Chain A
Amino acid sequence: MRYLASVLSCLLTVVCSCAPVGAQALRGGPLPMLAEQTAYEPVPGRSPTARAFLLGIGRTNQLDTYLSPMEYTGTEVSFLMQSERMTKLAKRHISFQSTFQGVFTSADNPAETATYTGGRLAYDAGWHYNYSPFSNFNLKGGALIGTDLGFLYNDRNGNNPAQGRFSADVSLSAGADYSYRLGHLPMQLHYQADLPMIGLMFCPEFGESYYEISQNGVGHDIVCAHPGNALSLRQMLMMDFCLKRITLRVGYLCDIRQSNARDLKYHDVSHSFMFGIVRHFQMMKRK
């Protein structure tokens, strides 16, 4: 109970520091400066968490043949919150990562006579095994469990105006981190690709109406998703750098979501420029 009380009294302290950028920071344990300056010390065995909050803007290309056979193109704005920390597993080689992503899109058909408005929330979490062949280079591979909920609304379709999106899947995930210095500026490159391998997704039948879906329930419209019918891929190439005491992250996010099931095709391909900050958290306890 005392331990619980001490844990509850811990503070999540935000450190916007240049020094802990990179794989070293991810593994790197305590933040001595902070600990010495205050009456707190890091919780033993608890690694720092790197948490990125990014905003993005980009282009999207959308196809949903339940709504229209035409490809719509337009703008996407998004946010992405990703946190990552090393765990005690496998001699501190395994990291835990969670990502929460929100996307809002607006896209027009080629003739610009109709508009799609879309939204999507996605969350995934999982573990990576980390391997560092060099001191400044880290490779990682693992698996993520995720879920995705969204919609696409066509402002002109009176009878079938919207399509719902739902999926839950297990993805393979791989990436690399490379730390280097540009002059005196410490920088780090991150790359990660997530490839859904198996899961479930909502997909109505070819000509199934809302009325039938509402009468029958959505249970029979949940189908197995795999790379053969839903080859999707999310790739991120990010660069971290420090500006004074703030760690900034800029990069490119390519998100390809697609499916081809029950004679209905869907894709949502987006390319976004992402920018934001990275914060490093350390769970502390009173000395």
Chain B
Amino acid sequence: MKRLLIIITALFALLTSCQKSDYEFDETPQGNLDALWTLIDQRYCFLSYKEEQLGFKWAELHAKYSEKLNPKMSRVQLFEVLCQMLSELKDGHVNISTSLDLGRNWSWKEDYPENLDTELRNQYLGTDYHIGSGLKYTILPDNVAYVVYESFSDAIGEGNLSDMIAYLRLCNGMILDIRGNGGGELTNAEKLSQRFTNENVLVGYMCHKTGKGHDDFSELQGEYIKPSENIRWQKPVVLLVNRSCYSAANTFVRNMKEMPLVTVMGDQTGGGSGLPFMSELPIGWSVRFSASPYFDARKQHIEFGIEPDVFVSLDETLAAEGKDSMIEAARQLINNK
């Protein structure tokens, strides 16, 4: 009986043996900075690449920003210090979300010309354009299809795409304008890409972190775009892009660059090739970071954007005359083919 009681007691003692998180940090400013630094150190997928490209050492940033802390600092001050530390990464997918503010670094678009005038764009669309879920489209006077897709968060159905292509099928070519598209659902990007190929196309690679080390990654896995089983576009396409094309829009541009009939025109895209994850700090603030990197078909990083096939910028003089130089260049390219 005694032995039985000992066994039962020992089993109950296991109650206290449950494993703990690796992030045993307190709610002090230092605890929160330590937690954030460790989170990025272990889970951020571009650390080695960013250290090489941007010239910082993540290990050194811990001491640099710890010096800016003091135990009595306010939440606002702590937020600023933590955001400054994250800004070193220059990644639009890295944010601290609080009730105070959204910590961000949007230098990927804010440091460059916008190359988009939405009023001008609306003039090209006119008032009788079609709306197919997130897609707006019309036929320009020179028989060129003009399609605007402002966000990959706007769902597009197969029916929407089929109806749009059927409506535009007699046009000489298509201008697909995704300037200002900051991303959204990757599945929408994939679905749209499938309408522009007749065969499987290798568009890039992806991998994910398999451990806490900076370079612990799974093997690169090829990503293929399969042709849609529905109606597909068979004529020239000019894809208009700018620095605001980010995240899923950046991935879409990567996909379209591999399609034979597509010309990418405009400015370099904003980038954002890390699939984001979310986590949090002891103070309760939410943190977003890039967790799984995407590469192009040549296994190169596209985190800082993709160069267009043809660089064109928005001409302010022409804009004053009511003309979008980028749309005009795209029309010219299609009409000359």
With a CB–CB cut-off of 8 A, which chain B residues contact A208? 208, 218, 292
Q: How far in angstroms is the closest Cβ of chain A from B170?
A: 36
With a CB–CB cut-off of 8 A, which chain A residues contact B277? 159-160, 207, 209
Q: A144-183 CB contact bits vs B (8 Å, 1 = yes)?
A: 0000000000101111100000000000000010000000
Q: How far in angstroms is the closest Cβ of chain A from B337?
A: 35
Segment from B13-21, B195-203, B298-306 that makes contact with A: B13-21
Per the bound structure, the CA–CA distance linking A159 and B16 in Å amounts to 33
Select one of B4, B211, B276 contacting A159, CB under 8 A: B276
With A207-B291, A233-B14 as known contacts, state yes or no: A69 contacts B22, CB within 8 Å. Answer: yes
CB–CB A70/B282 < 8 A: yes
Select one of A71, A154, A269 contacting B21, CB under 8 A: A71
Q: A62-101 CB contact bits vs B (8 Å, 1 = yes)?
A: 0101011111000000000000000000000000000000
CB–CB B23/A260 < 8 A: no
CB–CB B11/A206 < 8 A: no
Per the bound structure, the CA–CA distance linking A222 and B288 in Å amounts to 27
Per the bound structure, the CA–CA distance linking A111 and B292 in Å amounts to 28
Residue of A nearest to B24 (CB): A69
CB–CB A269/B11 < 8 A: no
Select one of B11, B17, B292 contacting A235, CB under 8 A: B11
CB–CB B8/A114 < 8 A: no
With a CB–CB cut-off of 8 A, which chain B residues contact A158? 278, 288
Q: How far in angstroms is the closest Cβ of chain A from B220?
A: 12
Per the bound structure, the CA–CA distance linking A207 and B214 in Å amounts to 12
With an 8 A cutoff between CB atoms, is B212 at the interface?
Answer: yes
With a CB–CB cut-off of 8 A, which chain B residues contact A209? 208, 275, 277, 291-292
Per the bound structure, the CA–CA distance linking A260 and B45 in Å amounts to 21
With A68-B280, A207-B208, A207-B277 as known contacts, state yes or no: A256 contacts B19, CB within 8 Å. Answer: no
Q: Which residues A257-283 have CB closer than 8 A to chain B?
A: 258, 260, 262-263, 265, 267, 269, 271
Select one of A159, A258, A262 contacting B18, CB under 8 A: A258
With an 8 A cutoff between CB atoms, is B85 at the interface?
Answer: no
Residue of B nearest to A208 (CB): B208
With a CB–CB cut-off of 8 A, which chain B residues contact A71? 20-21
CB–CB B21/A70 < 8 A: yes
Q: How far in angstroms is the closest Cβ of chain B from A162?
A: 12
Q: How far in angstroms is the closest Cβ of chain A from B275?
A: 5
With a CB–CB cut-off of 8 A, which chain A residues contact B278? 154, 156-160
CB–CB B19/A65 < 8 A: no
With an 8 A cutoff between CB atoms, is A228 at the interface?
Answer: no
CB–CB A69/B39 < 8 A: yes
Per the bound structure, the CA–CA distance linking A235 and B211 in Å amounts to 33
With an 8 A cutoff between CB atoms, is A254 at the interface?
Answer: yes
Per the bound structure, the CA–CA distance linking A212 and B218 in Å amounts to 11
With a CB–CB cut-off of 8 A, which chain B residues contact A206? 43, 208-212, 216
With a CB–CB cut-off of 8 A, which chain A residues contact B14? 233, 256
Q: How far in angstroms is the closest Cβ of chain A from B286?
A: 6
Q: How far in angstroms is the closest Cβ of chain B from A274?
A: 16
With a CB–CB cut-off of 8 A, which chain B residues contact A109? 280, 284
With an 8 A cutoff between CB atoms, is A45 at the interface?
Answer: no
CB–CB A111/B212 < 8 A: no
CB–CB B19/A258 < 8 A: yes
With A156-B278, A160-B277, A235-B12 as known contacts, state yes or no: A207 contacts B209, CB within 8 Å. Answer: yes
Per the bound structure, the CA–CA distance linking A211 and B278 in Å amounts to 15
With an 8 A cutoff between CB atoms, is A112 at the interface?
Answer: yes
Q: A186-222 CB contact bits vs B (8 Å, 1 = yes)?
A: 0000010100000000000111110110001000000
Per the bound structure, the CA–CA distance linking A110 and B282 in Å amounts to 7
Q: How far in angstroms is the closest Cβ of chain A from B104?
A: 15
Per the bound structure, the CA–CA distance linking A209 and B22 in Å amounts to 21
CB–CB B4/A265 < 8 A: no
CB–CB B282/A114 < 8 A: no
Q: How far in angstroms is the closest Cβ of chain B from A175?
A: 10
Q: B277-318 CB contact bits vs A (8 Å, 1 = yes)?
A: 111101111101001100000000000000000000000000
Per the bound structure, the CA–CA distance linking A29 and B117 in Å amounts to 86
With an 8 A cutoff between CB atoms, is B35 at the interface?
Answer: yes
CB–CB B22/A256 < 8 A: no
CB–CB B19/A260 < 8 A: yes
Select one of B209, B218, B280 contacting A69, CB under 8 A: B280
Q: How far in angstroms is the closest Cβ of chain A from B103?
A: 15
With A212-B206, A267-B18 as known contacts, state yes or no: A207 contacts B282, CB within 8 Å. Answer: no
The residues of B with any CB-CB pair to A shorter than 8 Å are 4, 8, 11-12, 14-15, 17-23, 27, 35, 39, 43, 45, 186, 206, 208-212, 216, 218, 221, 275-280, 282-286, 288, 291-292
Known: A176-B4, A212-B208, A256-B18. 8 other contacts (CB 8 A): A61-B18, A160-B277, A160-B278, A211-B186, A212-B221, A235-B12, A263-B210, A267-B19
The 8 closest A-B pairs by CB, nearest first: A111-B284, A207-B209, A69-B23, A113-B284, A157-B278, A207-B208, A207-B291, A209-B275
- 5 sampled A-B residue pairs with Cβ under 8 A: A68-B279, A111-B27, A207-B45, A212-B206, A262-B211
